[in-house]
Chain A
Amino acid sequence: MSGRERILGRVRRALADAPDVPAPVERTYLRAHGDLDAEGTVDLLAEHLADYRALVHRCTPDELPSVVGRLLAARSSRSVLVPPGLDPRWLAEADARRVEDLARDTPYELDRVDSVVTACAVAIAETGTIVLDGGPDQGRRRITLVPDHHVCVVRVPGQVVSSVPQALERLDPARPLTWISGPSATSDIELDRVEGVHGPRTLEVILVG
């Protein structure tokens, strides 16, 4: 007998006498906590991002190129990964060399790049989370992982939702998703939080609106 038949058979025998469980599940929990307006939701996002040591910046669309340029210069970044569909104007004032992420490149190539600039799919205010879905302005999952400095641009208030339930509604499960809440961190040593273990040690979020 195959493992599949054996396991499914065991499950069915185990449940033969089990009482029925009513479906669908009642969802009496909240869709969002509190009722902030759009501006308040963006403020909450900024506050919660900062709580987990992301560096938060706010600017208008016109100011964005100069902010991106300044952040890369402040880190002395000489090279920057750019997803294929990123608006080229965002990097108009950056001095760093643009690096494209080609599928044939090994992770070693990415490891030599200083920074990465991406957009995001959605951001969650209650939890201070940005979500990337691999869209053209976000690129492959690895580009926001291997370099040590990630600059993520969030368009506000359009891309900001209050809660996890609202975010899931907007996301497509068929795409590979990465939810990011602050920089890489560990609390494995005496529960002292240390930022930056394997992922980017610095996460900068620019709220543009």
Chain B
Amino acid sequence: MSGTFVGMPAFPEAARAAVADARLRGNLRHATHTIRAKRARAVAEVSDWAELREAGKRIKDHTLRHLDRYLVQLEEKVTAAGGTVHWAADAEDANRIVVELVRATGESEVVKVKSMATQEIGLNEALEAAGIRAYETDLAELIVQLGDDRPSHILVPAIHRNRGEIRDVFRERMSDWGRPAPEGLTDSPAELAEAARLHLREKFLRAKVGVSGANFMVAETGTLVVVESEGNGRMCLTLPETLISVVGIEKTVPTWRDLEVFLQTLPRSSTAERMNPYTSTWTGTTDGDGPTAFHLVLLDNGRTDTLADEVGRQALRCIRCSACLNVCPVYERAGGHAYGSVYPGPIGAILSPQLRGTASEIDASLPYASSLCGACYEVCPVAIDIPEVLVHLRERVVEGGPMVREGNKVVLKPAKGHAAERAAMRAARWAFSRPGALRTGQRLASRTRRLHPRTLPGPGKAWTATRALPAVPPEPFRDWWRRTGGGKEGGK
């Protein structure tokens, strides 16, 4: 499995391969159903969930509306607390900044807290190219890194792997990255976790540079927040001398008090717990406790383009809880890799084509990677109307139109490959506006129904490869209505 998403096939091809993998489907079904049921119980415990959800939505909308002001305030507070703020317009900027910061320490390795932002920009690959080794320390990320694999879920990146596969990865690959797996390692989760503990501990204790993301940044105080379970986050945030945090600009919240909403909704929505085992907050640097140097890299990388889209900007409310993945019937069958992005599932289907644009085949296909059932909207703790954004992006793919790329207004051409769809819609518009032609066509279709093939020829063939072609009724509805007087005569 390649470690990169470049050159991924479009969603339909990738999904077809994934759906045929019975083991993958079994792993995914087990995982999504387990966490879905647990989440429902955790949410039901809180009687004011609807109010918390509404408050979360409003806080995020308010922040986004005044993002310039809050980013400037955040910078001021972080700087006053002893940190240094860097601004990265795109992935390349961010990677360059981090590489330079690590080089300035004289170190050639870093320990990393699981972070979507650093995956999004391909930081590990950039560090490797600069001769710096990045160690992932979250257990699931470790499994993915050792297996030369890609993450397939926001919260549990190795959700597509079962315990037997994980044992094999540990046995075969741990020695390449440091301490080998213990002799006779079995596939019991406790033993596997212990193997990871031993493997990583030596790295934590010697690490001089830590790299993280953040779940929230508080503008009012300059405080960063990381929620986690294993303690690997605390290790990376507190033991090294230098801490570098790469954070998307949309993670800002205005006030310390705003955390009271998200620290209630995030754990219950993501891991289905009342609270995750560890939450760390820090404000700049603290004398005698933790890193002596703190760098915050504020990342744009398509976020301001997303902000410019009045329908799509709500995707920036996302707090990466992953609840939408676990309820999505499409994700459950296709798995995370089919989305060709670090953000899989329903949120990935709206976030990736906005952050990256819809120029590539995979990004143009993502708004279609949904049945529009709406389950993702129901569970979203910040009420992102994912179906609304999906439909909006489909329109953009098919029709083209104005949008913003890298800060510039551009007019997007209609995507290739949707010519048949547009032709069909034009034909339908023609027929529906001519009742005579429609009637004649429908009667002709009914009379020749015995001759109709089971699959469509030509470009329609792919459509009927996975669907039954609806049967044409013996007579058109309008003829039936006229003959029976609307069914009153009991005609059939």
- A interface residues with partner B (beta carbon < 8 Å): 2-4, 6-15, 17-18, 20-23, 25-30, 33, 48, 51-52, 103, 106-108, 111, 124, 126-129, 134, 140-142, 145-146, 164-165, 168-169, 173-192, 194, 196-200
Contact = CB atoms under 8 A, between A and B. Distances in A.
A122 B105 CA distance: 37
B62 interface: yes
A124 B310 CA distance: 39
Contacts of A145: 231, 234-235, 238-239
B477 interface: no
8 contacts: A11-B307, A111-B201, A175-B286, A177-B279, A181-B273, A197-B139, A197-B230, A198-B200
B188 to A, nearest CB: 9
Interface stretch (B9-17, B46-54, B368-376): B46-54
Given A29-B261, A140-B289, 6 more contacts: A108-B205, A142-B289, A179-B281, A185-B277, A186-B229, A198-B231
Contacts of A140: 238, 288-290
Contacts of B55: 25-29
**Most-contacted residue by chain A among B249, B286, B289 (CB, 10 A):** B289
Interface string B227-271: 001111011001100000000010000001111110110010001
Interface of B: 27, 30-31, 34-35, 45-48, 51-52, 54-55, 58-59, 61-62, 65-68, 71-72, 75, 81, 86-89, 93, 137-140, 143, 156, 158, 162-163, 166, 189-190, 192-193, 196-197, 200-201, 204-205, 218, 221, 223, 229-232, 234-235, 238-239, 249, 256-261, 263-264, 267, 271, 273-283, 286, 288-290, 298, 300, 304-305, 307-308, 310, 313, 404, 407
A190 B197 contact: no
Majority DSSP secondary structure for residues of B touching A: helix
B250 to A, nearest CB: 10
Contact of B86 (A3, A48, A178, A187): A3
A191 B264 CA distance: 21
B276 A181 contact: yes
Given A145-B238, A198-B231, A10 B407 contact: yes
8 nearest A-B pairs in the assembled complex, by CB-CB distance: A199-B231, A3-B87, A10-B304, A14-B308, A179-B279, A127-B275, A198-B231, A188-B140
B275 A179 contact: yes
Contacts of B59: 25
**Most-contacted residue by chain A among B35, B59, B281 (CB, 10 A):** B281
A30 B261 CA distance: 10
Contacts of A179: 275, 278-281
Contacts of A191: 30-31, 34-35, 156
A10 B313 CA distance: 14
A141 B290 contact: yes
A176 B68 contact: no
Contact of B223 (A4, A11, A30, A173): A173
Contacts of A127: 267, 274-275
B277 A11 contact: no
Contacts of A17: 310
A98 B51 CA distance: 49
A176 B282 contact: yes
Contacts of B290: 140-142, 176
A178 B225 CA distance: 10
A133 B259 CA distance: 17
A186 B256 CA distance: 28
Contact of B230 (A6, A14, A185): A185
Given A165-B260, A189-B166, A141 B238 contact: yes
A179 B264 CA distance: 13
B241 to A, nearest CB: 11
Nearest to B196: A197
Contacts of B234: 141, 145, 178, 198-199
A30 B275 contact: no
Contacts of A177: 279-282
A174 B278 contact: no
A51 B192 CA distance: 23
Nearest to A168: B260
A8 B71 contact: yes
B273 A189 contact: no
B231 A189 contact: no
Contact of A189 (B87, B193, B223): B193
B221 A174 contact: yes
Contact of A134 (B196, B286, B313): B286
Contacts of A169: 257
Contacts of B89: 3, 6-7, 10
Given A11-B68, A145-B234, A199-B278, A164 B221 contact: no
A74 B231 CA distance: 24
A21 B407 contact: no
A199 B300 CA distance: 33
A196 B218 contact: no
**Most-contacted residue by chain A among B72, B273, B307 (CB, 10 A):** B273
B31 A190 contact: yes
A180 B279 CA distance: 7
Contacts of A25: 55, 58-59, 62, 258
A33 B48 contact: yes
Contacts of B282: 176-177
A128 B274 contact: yes
B342 to A, nearest CB: 17
Given A141-B290, A191-B35, A198-B204, A8 B68 contact: yes
A167 to B, nearest CB: 8
Given A25-B58, A140-B288, A189-B166, A178 B280 contact: yes
Contacts of A181: 273-278
A142 B264 contact: no
Contacts of A198: 137, 197, 200-201, 204, 230-232, 234-235
